[in-house]
Homo-oligomer: A and B are copies of this chain.
């Protein structure tokens, strides 16, 4: 995971040179992560699902979404690094479980059943 590792390392340095590591507890970083996800929600809250699917076609909207998604990724990467969790590995482990729980035969195209990824 060379590129994810590089991002985590850059975030470590960013915090270290500013002496901000003491603020970066899992509790605080999770709040910051949730705050950034809140900004993403605010961008999409009044759109229909269909409108949200074409949002990236508007260059100014695309810029804002890219910026908010970037913020979320920053805090998630920093949080995982501080916790010592490998993001991609943790996601695959959960997907292993979901593939068992939501068998294709039983859940195909089901609108009534909740369609979670996780």
Contacts and interface: CB of A to CB of B under 8 A. Distances in A.
Contacts of A115: 18, 20, 23, 46
Interface residues of A, number: 83
| Identical copies in the complex | 4
Query: Chain A: interface secondary structure?
Result: helix
Shortest 9 CB-CB distances between A and B: which pairs?
A: A38-B38, A70-B90, A35-B42, A19-B109, A27-B52, A70-B94, A25-B49, A31-B45, A26-B52
Interface of A: 1, 3-4, 6-7, 10-11, 14-15, 17-20, 23, 25-28, 30-42, 44-53, 55-56, 65-67, 69-80, 82-85, 87-88, 90-95, 98-99, 102, 104, 107-110, 114-118
